[in-house]
Structure formats: C-alpha cells, structure tokens
Amino acid sequence: MNWTAIGMFLLFVLFTLGVTRWAARRTRSASDFYTAGGGLTGMQNGLAIAGDMISAASFLGISAMMFLNGYDGLLYALGVLAGWPIILFLIAERLRNLGKYTFADVVSYRLAQTPVRLTSAFGTLTVALMYLVAQMVGAGKLIELLFGISYLYAVMLVGVLMVFYVTYGGMLATTWVQIIKAVMLLLGTTFMAFMVLKHFGFSTEAMFASATAVHAKGTAIMAPGGLLSNPVDAISLGLGMMFGTAGLPHILMRFFTVSDAKEARKSVFYATGFIGYFYLLLIIVGFGAIVMVGTEPAYRDASGAIIGGGNMIAVHLAQAVGGNLFLGFISAVAFATILAVVAGLALSGASAVSHDLYACVIRKGQATEQEEMRVSRLATLGIGVLAIILGLMFESQNIAFLSGLVLAIAASVNFPVLFLSMFWKGLTTRGAVMGSMSGLVSAIVLLVLSPAVWVNVMHHEQALFPYSNPALFSMSLAFFSAWLFSVTDATERAKQERGRYLAQFIRSMTGIGAAGAAKH
Amino acid sequence: MTPEHIESICKHPDFQQLVRRKRLLNGTLTLAMMIIYYGFVLLVAFSPSTLGRSLSGGVTSVGMLVGVAIVLVSFALTGIYVYRANNVLDPLSDRVKQECMQ
C-alpha cells in the first residue's frame, strides 16, 4: 500500500466531489447538463480539451515508448498533435455554429432525423464504449500497481466515481474535473522535466549523449526505428490519428460548451499550445528516464525487468527526481487523469442515448427537458454498469490494440460523414447512413483481419490484411460510399435536403441563428 | 431564416468576401499543415537515416529538431488563424449579420 499516493488521491477525490456539488446546484436545464450552459471561456475549454488528450495512456504510454525505442515515441505524439490545427481550420467553428449538444445535431441538420441520429448514436456509442473499456482495463491495472488495491475494487471505484460526477454535475463537473487534472498533470510534468534538465546541467545535448551511451540500441534511439517503416502503414496510421481525433464524440461535444465560434476557435489555440508543450516535456521525461531510471538497479526486479512493467517508467522517474512525496503526487494525478477522461466518455455516450435516441428519435422532439435529463442520468448509470462489467470481462485480454485502434474506427465512422455534411451540398440521408455504416463495418473487419488480432489474438499463421492500421482504407470507403449513395439518390427527399444546404452554409459561416449560451 | 434573408445574405458583398477570404485562409493553412505532417511521415517511411543524421556533430539528431519544429509550427499556424479570423473575418461576418438580419 502506497499511503502517500492514497492520501493525495483521497484529497483529489474530496475536492472534485466538492466541485460536483457546486456544479449540481447550477445544473438545471438540459443545456447545463450537456454543455455546461455553453458558458465556458476559450481558455477553460482549451484546458479541458488538452486534458482529454493528455490522458494516462499518453503520459505513461508515450514516455514508456520513448524509454524503449526513443524517437518512435515522438511519432505517436506528433500524430495526435497534428490533428488539432486541422480540426481548427476545418470543423471547430462550423461545428459550434450548427450544433447544440451532440455532433449528430450537425450531421442531421438538413437530413432526416431518425435514420441519421440512429447511425450517429450507434457510432458514438461504439467509439465511446470501446474507448471506455480500454481506459477501464488500463485504469484497473494501473491502480492495482500504484495503490495496492485489487483490480475488482479499482474498476468499481472508477465506475462509481465516473457515474457520480456525470449524473450529479453533468458537463460542468466533468469539465472542471478535467481542467483541475490538466493543470496538475502539466505542473507535475513541468517539474519532472525541470529536474531532469537540472540533472544534466540544462543541456539537452548532454542528456541525449548520456541516453545513447547507456541505451541498448545506442544512437539508433535518436532516429525513427521500425514503427513506420512501411509507407502504407505510415500514411494509414497518420490519417487514423489525425482524423480519428476529429471523430471522437467526447472531444466534439466540447465545442458546444463555449458561447460562440470565436471562443471555439480560441479553445483550439490554447489546447494545441498545451498539448504541444506537454509532448515537448515528454521528450525530456522519456529520454531522461533512460538514464535516471534505466541505469538504476532499484527500479528493476531480479530478472532485470522494470518493476511494474514498461508503463511505470514515468512513475519511477517521479520518485527518482522528487522522492516519495512526488511519487504519491504523480500516482494520484495518473488516477485523476483516468477518472476525468472516463467521465467525459460516459457523458458523450449518455447524451447519444438521451438526446439523439430518446428525445429526437423516440419522442420526435416532444420530450421535456426534465424527461430528457432523467433519461441521460439513467443512461449514464447504464453505461457505468456496462463499463464495469466489460472492464472485468476484458481484464486479462490484450487491450493495447483496442485503445490505439479506436481512433481508426472514429476516423472512419464519424469523421467522413460529419465532414461531408458541412462541406458538401450533395450529401443526402441515404449517403450519410451508408457512409457511416460502411466506415464502421470496414474498419472493424479490417481490424479483425489485421496482424494485431488475426495473428496475435486468434493465433492464425498469417494476417489476411497485411497492414496494422485500417484507417486509409476504411476512411476512403466511408467517403466513397457516402458519395456514391448520395449522387444516385434521386428521391424527392434528397432534392429537398440539397436545397436546404444554402441556409445551413450561411449559418455555418456567420453563426446567424446559432445556439447561444444559456441565460442565468 | 426566410428565403428573402437567404437571398439578401448571398448577394451581400461582405458575405461574398467573407466566404472567399475564409476559404483562402482555411485552405492555405490546411494545405500547409498536411504538407508538413505527411511530408514528415513520408520522410520517416522512406528515409529514416536523414532524420538520424547528427545535427551539428553531437548526438542530437536532425529528426529531434524536426520533431520540435513541427510542434512549434503547428501552434504557430493555429495562432495565425486565430489572429486573422479575429481581425479580418469576424468584422465581415458581424457586418453581414447587422445589415441582413434586422
């Protein structure tokens, strides 16, 4: 049992419960619940977006990858970062001007509500649940290691706190938990990077020199290794990371929490800055750890492996630079990170159920706000229970491929249709539904046939699909199907849908008629 | 929005200018980001040794500098966009809103 870490974590939980209580008092309408009343500033939302991206997976995973392979870790970081300017230039403002609570609002803006909302909700739930399971399993393992509590309790604890934040505090609590954690993680990582640089006399050259001197791969860690050696794989992974981020429902939802397009724009600027800064720090953390953790026998077990596995590199480094107190702090931050990210995921899944499925499809827009909020709370509870059960079921499964490839699925099922609905006059309901579905099916089928599942999980001789990432193919297919089934759609409904594009275009450009912030 | 509104907005010179300028700005910056990032990805795939070369005789490699540069340029591009949008595009859009939606 690590009592410092547990103490610090309890402090964090108490504080966030206070935040949730405060948020619960201010959460009265559906707009408060889904989008924090639309009243966040660009800076606050930027921090929350950055918080969603700098998750435990990127903090522990990317620093571990740099520790093992050096430069290849940076390739992942750059893929995630490069998506943000594109999101800003292409979709952030239009999304804010056209939507209200979920990205399905935007896709269904001039299309038939029922079929489009059904497919969008299906896409949202698939992505949110897969991401949630990956986070749950990762969280359970991590908490087991850091705090010495059993996997069962760890998963239950994450699930219960997540449901509590979302059902009581809605988006306001979810966002503030994310902001608090983002600030803590940025400060903690800054301190670690500063101490590493101090150790090397503030010379990155000295740090790289020592790292290459002690690393088994020598100077090879300063150049790209085997990660992206195949050009098709490289492009596919790049596309998946860049546009997958733009298809994550819990990220897209954040654009509705600010008052207008101008604040949405600012939030991406701040988010890109924070994410970029964080990844620059991770280079120092990862390479510093090669020397400060890798050469220290205390962090290895009898067989020479890193205690707790490769993902614990950043945690060991925290102890090396700041002692047990700082180790406790970083452990608590890692736990907090998981909580904040799963809360956002649960909220986006719940809003797909309550807003898209219940209010718009089942009740055809006739549900009162109170009814809609009640359904969203029940949906959150349902998603929480499902996440705990799936987390326990998948405990011993290899979930690494799951978390990485959720992005490929998001890039294929959500992004193409969202993009076309905003930029292409010709998109019709039939095209949107077929585009989403073909993206989802092809991404999952290609994933199953890829080496990660077909060979590593199902133990077949050879993969039927040779590339590790399907995004290039499944995304292209989604775009192609959406186009094909739209241009061949000669129905009267399709004609009307194309006719409504101009009004949508004007609103997306100017914000005339856009949903504003709630009045309090 | 009534059909008359739609027509008056579409004919408004400021709206036409807004659309033109926005397309130009968004298109140029998107293209720049795509070229930078996918250029980098292709370099990684086809010529990793270029990135592995020493920067100035020391251990620090060219690739490390390129990686840091991509982070900084990404941030700079979002900064350019926000600056132009706040100072050039927003006034245009505000004028259209004021004049056409009374």
Residues in CB range of A495: below 8 A, 6 or more apart: none
Nearest CB to B52 within list A222, A228, A513: A222
Residue A36 lies in a domain: no
Model pLDDT, residue A60: 87
Q: Does B18 sit within 8 Å of A509, measured CB to CB?
A: yes
Number of H helices, E strands in chain A: 21, 0
Least confident stretch, A28-42, A132-146, A180-194: A132-146
Note the maximum CA span of chain A. 73
Taking contacts as CB-CB distances below 8 angstroms, the residues of chain A near B59 are 205, 208-209, 212, 219, 222
SS3 state of residue A451: helix
Q: Which residue of B has its CA nearest to A513?
A: B1
* A270-302 residue pLDDT tens: 999 999 999 999 999 999 999 999 998 889 888
Q: Which domain CATH number covers A109?
A: 1.20.1730.10
SS3 state of residue A264: helix
Phi and psi at residue A186, to the nearest 5°: -65, -45
Q: Which residue of B has its CA nearest to A502?
A: B6
Residues in CB range of A421: below 8 A, 6 or more apart: A106, A107, A109, A110, A111, A427, A432
Q: Are A126 and A402 in contact (CB under 8 A)?
A: no
Q: Which residue of B has its CA nearest to A264?
A: B82
CA distance A409 to A349: 16
Phi and psi at residue B48, to the nearest 5°: -60, -25
Tell me the shortest Cα–Cα distance from A439 to chain B, in angstroms. 22
Task: Quickly tell me which residue has 């056409």 as its tokens.
Answer: B100
Residue A350 lies in a domain: yes
- Show me where the domains of chain B are located: 20-100
Residue A152 lies in a domain: yes
* A417-441 residue pLDDT tens: 999 999 999 999 999 999 999 999 9
Q: Which range marks the domain in which residue A209 is found?
A: 3-26+41-514
Q: What is chain B's pLDDT, residue by residue, as a tens digit (102 residues)?
A: 788 888 888 888 999 999 999 999 999 999 999 999 999 998 988 888 899 999 888 899 999 999 999 999 999 999 999 999 999 999 999 998 888 876
Confidence of residue A343 (pLDDT cuts 50, 70, 90): very high
Question: A142: how many CB neighbours lie within 10 A of its CB?
Answer: 24
- Give the N- to C-terminal CA distance of chain B in Å, as an integer: 12
Tokens of A74: 């940076």
Q: Which of A164, A166, A144 is nearest to A155 (CA)?
A: A144
What residue type is assigned to position A3 of the chain?
W
Interface pTM, i.e. ipTM:
0.95
Q: Does A222 sit within 8 Å of B9, measured CB to CB?
A: no
Q: pTM of the full predicted structure? A: 0.94
Domain count, chain A: 1
Tokens of A479: 């775009």
Residue A31 lies in a domain: no
Rg (alpha carbons) of chain A, rounded to whole number? 23
